[in-house]
């Protein structure tokens, strides 16, 4: 209950912030996108990771103002990078199931796009397949987001229970292969087989594939051999503040 009250005030008190993890095209070394990840600088407890407060936010309904803040802040950051001279890069925002299923998501997103001035092709939402949901409603939300020009990717791909059905039903743009499949890619034949199959399937369905949690050269080489070039992981970049990200970007390119 105490933490809930703290979280309620955290937005107004400027205690929440986003960090950004670059996604790299391993063929060129260019950054092709970033994922926005929320953090909370708690006045007493220090830095808190989303694993400690997103479930609480979901339970209490605070996920709605918090989620709106994330979308807005990520879009504003994109625009600031542009003003500072960076080329436009896609920014991905994680959505909780409740946010995705809330009636005003599309309207809120349209408002943020208009107010921030972001070109919507550079905004993408990450949804997870573990959401239990009304499929025809979800299908419609994705359609409306696409009408706005916003992309949708499936996060943590392979860990849910209906992933293939989602691919059949929803017009998504990309899958993000979950880190659990990448961890032992070079040691476990089964993991390698599963990853290879995901990549081939995505390719044939015309979806972008991003491998998550790539930490070493061996994993990178293996993924490139399998034809997966979009890489997110500590091997290339850790999540960084907006300013640090810009510095790194300027150094890389």
Name the nearest CA neighbour of 222 among 251, 195, 201, 245.
195
The window from 146-154, 159-167, 196-204, 228-236 that contacts ligand G (CB under 6 A) reads 228-236
Q: Does residue 22 contact residue 245 with C-beta atoms inside 8 Å? A: yes
- Of 118-137, which residues contact Mn ion (CB under 5 A)? 126
- The least distance separating Na ion from the CB of residue 129, rounded to whole angstroms, comes to 11
Counting residues that bind ligand G (by CB under 6 A) gives 21
Q: Does residue 67 contact residue 99 with C-beta atoms inside 8 Å? A: yes
- Of 36-65, which residues contact ligand G (CB under 6 A)? 37-38, 49-51, 54
- Of 2-41, which residues contact ligand G (CB under 6 A)? 21, 37-38
Give strand pairing partners of 35.
21, 92
The window from 24-32, 101-109, 134-142, 212-220 that contacts ligand G (CB under 6 A) reads 212-220
- Pairing status of strand 30-42 against strand 46-48: antiparallel
Among Na ion, Mn ion, ligand G, none, partner that 49 touches (CB below 5 to 8 angstroms by kind): ligand G
Q: Does residue 225 contact residue 10 with C-beta atoms inside 8 Å? A: no
- Determine which residue in the list 6, 124, 155, 178 makes contact with Mn ion, applying CB under 5 A: 155
Consecutive H or E run containing 154:
strand 151-157
- The least distance separating Na ion from the CB of residue 37, rounded to whole angstroms, comes to 11
- Determine which residue in the list 156, 160, 175, 202 makes contact with Na ion, applying CB under 5 A: 156
Name the nearest CA neighbour of 121 among 232, 32, 228.
32
């Amino acid at each position: 209950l105490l933490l809930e009250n703290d979280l309620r005030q955290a937005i107004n008190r400027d205690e929440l912030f986003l960090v950004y993890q670059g996604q790299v095209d391993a063929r060129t070394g260019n950054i092709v996108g970033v994922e926005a990840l929320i953090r909370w600088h708690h006045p007493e407890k220090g830095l808190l990771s989303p694993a400690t407060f997103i479930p609480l936010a979901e339970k209490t309904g605070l996920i709605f103002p918090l989620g709106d803040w994330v979308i807005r802040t990520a879009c504003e950051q994109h625009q600031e990078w542009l003003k500072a001279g960076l080329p436009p890069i896609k920014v991905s925002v994680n959505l909780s199931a409740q946010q995705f299923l809330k009636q005003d998501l599309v309207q809120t997103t349209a408002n943020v796009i208009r107010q921030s001035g972001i070109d919507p092709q550079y905004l993408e939402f990450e949804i997870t397949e573990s959401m239990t949901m009304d499929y025809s409603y979800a299908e419609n939300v994705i359609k409306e987001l696409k009408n706005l020009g916003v992309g949708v990717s499936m996060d943590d791909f392979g860990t849910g229970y209906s992933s293939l059905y989602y691919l059949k039903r929803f017009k998504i743009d990309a899958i993000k292969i979950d880190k659990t499949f990448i961890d032992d890619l070079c040691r476990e034949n089964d993991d390698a087989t599963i990853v290879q199959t995901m990549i081939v399937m995505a390719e044939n369905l015309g979806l972008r594939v991003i491998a998550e949690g790539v930490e070493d050269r061996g994993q990178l080489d293996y993924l490139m051999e399998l034809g997966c070039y979009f890489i997110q992981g500590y091997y290339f970049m850790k999540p960084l503040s907006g300013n640090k990200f810009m510095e790194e970007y300027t150094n890389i390119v």
